[in-house]
Each structure stands twice: as C-alpha cells, then as structure tokens.
Amino acid sequence: MVMNSSDPNLKPRHWTIGKAADYLEEQGYRIPVTTLRHWFNELEKNNVHVLTKSSNRNERILTESDLEIAKFIYQQKEAYGFQMNVKALGALITEKFADYVTPGILKQDLDHGPGNFLIDEQKIRDYLAEQIKIEVSAIKKQLEEEHKERLALMPSREEQEERLRAIATSLQLQEIRKRKELRRRAEDLWNKNPAKIGILFKREDLAKKAEFIKAYEDEHIEDELKT
C-alpha cells in the first residue's frame, strides 16, 4: 500500500477535495470533484473509511494514501465497469489499505483525543459482526428477489396443464390423420389384386380386405408418426 513518503524531513502533503481532483487529473485520473466527494461519502456512509478534518476549518482533507484509495476505486471501475458501486468495493479497500483506512466508528474514538487511541477490541468485533450481518442480509435479499423473478417467468400449473392438453390433442389428431392416410394406401393396394370368394358368383372377400388394411396400418404407423 502506498503511504506518505518515509523521509522524516518531508512533511505529509494534504489536499482539499477540490485540489485533490486537480492533482489527480494531472496524474491522468480524470475524476470530477462531485464524483470524488461522492466516493468518500459512500466510504464513510458504509463505515469503510472516514477522511481526516482540518483543525482550523473543520474541512475534510486528503492525504497521499487517500489519493491512492481514489486511484484504486477509479481503476476498479475502469476495469470492471463504472456501474460497480463504492459499497461493493468496500471489502477490497479495507483489505488493500488495511494499515490506513479508518472506519467511522473507530474514527469517533480517535477524534476524542490521544487518550482514546487504543480501540476497544470488543467494539471492533461487534463492528465486523454487524458488517457481516448486513452483507449476508443483502445477499439473501438479492437471492430471494432473483428466485421470485424466476418463478414469475415460469408458467402456472394451469398454464402447464393447458399446454400439455394442447400437445396431447395435437398428437392425437396427427395420429388420426396418419392412420386415415395409411388405410387409404392399403385400400389402393388391395384394389389392385383383391381376394375373391365364391364358386359361381365371385365377390370381394371383405373380411380379408379389412384384415389386410388393419395389418398394413399397424405395420407402418410407427414410421409415419416419426415423420
């Protein structure tokens, strides 16, 4: 993590938000003042980091490490999409700048004076537990909303049953048409050489005709339904 210069003869540099935006732009980071202010407002709002305030004007000021945080946010948004919000980056910022960031609840103790510089360990645990609870709740809510959206896209039971009935009816009608066509073909074949019965008066053997048509229909129906 980048911090102020380690040279003891150099004084730490500080910027107001407006001056910080100008300085960042000189370094190739074009971040409007309103955007920079919004980012640090979000960090403070989500108890990730609070800027130090000047003693005389009570104005928020940025150190070189604060500028590094701004650069990091800019780089993440540029790499993964500017729709990525600062709240989502909070965990990454806390990890990357662990030696520098000061959450809001801890900043309150520091502001009370040197005597409160040592932070209550239990307060830290409570703070982290609360942050985890908030994140878990947000994830749970998001999953519930996504589940509701998927359910909304699914057809109702009545719609599913109606679709199944429509499919079954369509298949039945298709089979009826196929069987009718097969019986017509079978009759055409039969008529080319019909079987006769009788000695003096020959007549068509209707029983054999019906048997022939039925056998032809049963033999070819499976292949016909596949087409």
The pLDDT tens digits for 55-108 are: 777 788 999 999 999 999 999 888 877 667 777 788 888 888 888 877 654 444
Number of domains in the chain: 2
Q: For the whole model, what pTM was predicted?
A: 0.43
Give the residue among 2, 112, 123 at the shortest CA–CA distance from 63: 2
Domain membership flag for residue 102:
yes
Collapsed DSSP state (helix, strand, coil) of residue 8: coil
What phi and psi values does residue 52 have, to the nearest 5 degrees?
Answer: -75, 150
Domain membership flag for residue 210:
yes
Across the chain, what does the average pLDDT equal?
80
Same domain, 22 and 93: yes
Query: Could you tell me how many residues make up the chain?
Result: 227
User: pLDDT tens across 185-208, in order?
Assistant: 999 999 998 888 877 778 888 889
Same domain, 103 and 28: yes
Q: Which two tokens stand for residue 93?
A: 């910022």
Biggest CA-to-CA distance, the chain = 136
Domain membership flag for residue 138:
no
Same domain, 107 and 2: yes
Structural domain boundaries, residue 209: 169-226
Same domain, 173 and 107: no
- Looking at 63, 82, 111, the residue that finishes a domain is 111
Q: How far apart are CA 10 and CA 160, in angstroms?
A: 75
Same domain, 23 and 105: yes
The Cβ of residue 52 has, within 10 Å, a number of other Cβ atoms equal to 16
